[in-house]
Structure 1
Amino acid sequence: MEFDDAVLTRRSVHEYSDEPVAEETIEAVFERVRYSPSSYNLQPWEFLVLTEQENRERLQEVAYGQEHVADAPVAVAVLGNTDPSAHGEAVAEDQLRKGYLPNEEAKEGLLETIEGMADRDEETNRVWATKSTSLAAMTLMHAARAEGLSTCPVGGFDPDALHEEFDGDEQYEPVMLVTMGHAAPNAADTNTPRKFRRPVDDIVHREEFEPTEAELEDEVVTESFATQ
């Protein structure tokens, strides 16, 4: 699927068919996810992928009983490592080997910067991890769509309960859940009208910032859509 198609046909889907998602398809999705950008290329993301029904039901309880968390054949807990230095050595060494850093001294300077980040307060690093990990979560949803799958980001869940239920490490910030699978025939898809999106002129500010208020223009809705 072309990128434009993946972006424009993506919907947040709550209803999934019983068709399983092949393991090689899941692998293909995450092969793309790993190329997501991140602050200093530190890649703080981790993903807990649940395909067994029993485990998805456990996650459903964490997500306040939301049915699609268990109904989807794949559910993913997206986690962000709040320790910026966790992968610092590998990242810095890679940059040295590939010429992004001129010498060992520059590598040590980068590592000092990363260590300084790690020494920041807990809330700062929680926000830092969430920012970069959210980029990977969006890549996940677009990559899944490129494979013909549907997804839904889930922000309504208890992060402490997630850690408790799945023996999580408190160093990892639960950023969001993502359900993934083949959309059911009656699910929102490209045959239903897309929900309101603010136009470019509303969201892009050139040279100076001036907030705008969304205005909904009149649209023609077909008879078939109006009854859904």
Structure 2
Amino acid sequence: MEPAFFDVIRERHSVRYYDPTVTISEAELKQMLEEAALAPSSSNLQPWRFLVITDPAEKERLKPIAYGQQQVVDASAVIAVLGDLDSYQNTERIYSSAVEMGYMNEETKNRMVPRNIETYKNLPIEAARGVVLVDGGLVSMQLMLVAKAHGYDTVPMGGYDSVKFKDAFHVPERYVPVMLIAIGKAAREAHPTYRLPIDEITVWNRYE
């Protein structure tokens, strides 16, 4: 029986200690990525790209780049979430497929494709980075929830040298590192964390 949604969101915690004997099959990792990739994205361009690191030698290569964090080595896999600055190049393919599947009519596609290509192609670099970082954050959170639903634990990691990472793993320039996500089985239960009261972090309608 699949876990209930609210169980998943309440039970997901960031885990930093993993059982190094646990492996996750390539088929199951692929399934989790497919489920994560159902996340929304700007203009449905799906700019996320995944570098899945499972080889022990490659995880050892990553460890010093991630400032010695042991979960990089002990977790079953580390998934680097990347954002493709040139994802607009897939606009025609994505929208044409939507027409073929009956999700969109031809008129809408013909109107939106050239407009989207022109818009994203000419975005200033910082704006383009902002788009893929937001979309990368959406797919990353979805991946962590998906993993929990599959019975695995995760931790998102921003603590790594992104320049050295791109160099060591031959990441093309067009890809912006979003975060690393370790995934596996917890060797030590994660501790609960405090959350600020919702009334302290919520404003209704506008700031006065």
The equivalent residue for 1:214 is: none
Gaps spanning 5+ residues in structure 2: where? none
1:135 aligned onto 2:133: no
1:96 aligned onto 2:99: yes
The one of 5, 9, 19 equivalent to 1:7 is 9
1:36 aligned onto 2:34: no
Matched residue pairs, number? 204
Structure 2 residue identity aligned to 1:16: Y
Return the offset for 1:101: 4.3
The equivalent residue for 1:220 is: none
Give the superposed CA RMSD.
1.7
> Normalization by structure 1: what TM-score?
0.83
CA distance in 2, matches of 1:21, 1:94: 32
Is the CA contact 1:149–1:181 (under 8 Å) kept in the aligned structure 2? yes
CA distance in 1, matches of 2:95, 2:25: 36
Most deviating of 51-60 and 93-102: 93-102
Q: Which of these two proteins has the greater Rg computed from alpha carbons?
A: 1
Most deviating of 84-93 and 146-155: 84-93
Task: Write the deviation string for residues 57-89 of structure 1: whole angstroms up to 9, x where unpaired.
Answer: 112122122111112121111100012413211
1:198 aligned onto 2:200: no
> Normalization by structure 2: what TM-score?
0.91
The equivalent residue for 1:224 is: none
Is the CA contact 1:93–1:107 (under 8 Å) kept in the aligned structure 2? yes
Return the offset for 1:15: 0.3
Structure 1 runs, 4 residues or longer, greater than 6 Å off: none
1:150 aligned onto 2:148: no
Return the offset for 1:153: 0.2
CA distance in 2, matches of 1:170, 1:35: 25
The correspondence of residues 100-119 of structure 1 with structure 2, limited to 5 A, is: 101-104=104-107, 106-115=108-117, 116-119=119-122
CA distance in 2, matches of 1:23, 1:168: 21
CA distance in 2, matches of 1:133, 1:118: 19
1:75 aligned onto 2:73: no
Return the offset for 1:200: 2.1
Partner-residue secondary structure (3-state), 2:16? coil
Percent identity at matched positions? Answer: 34
Structure 1 residue identity aligned to 2:110: E
Distance 1:76 1:151, change over 3 A: same
Is the CA contact 1:144–1:150 (under 8 Å) kept in the aligned structure 2? yes
CA distance in 2, matches of 1:90, 1:49: 25
The equivalent residue for 2:61 is: 58
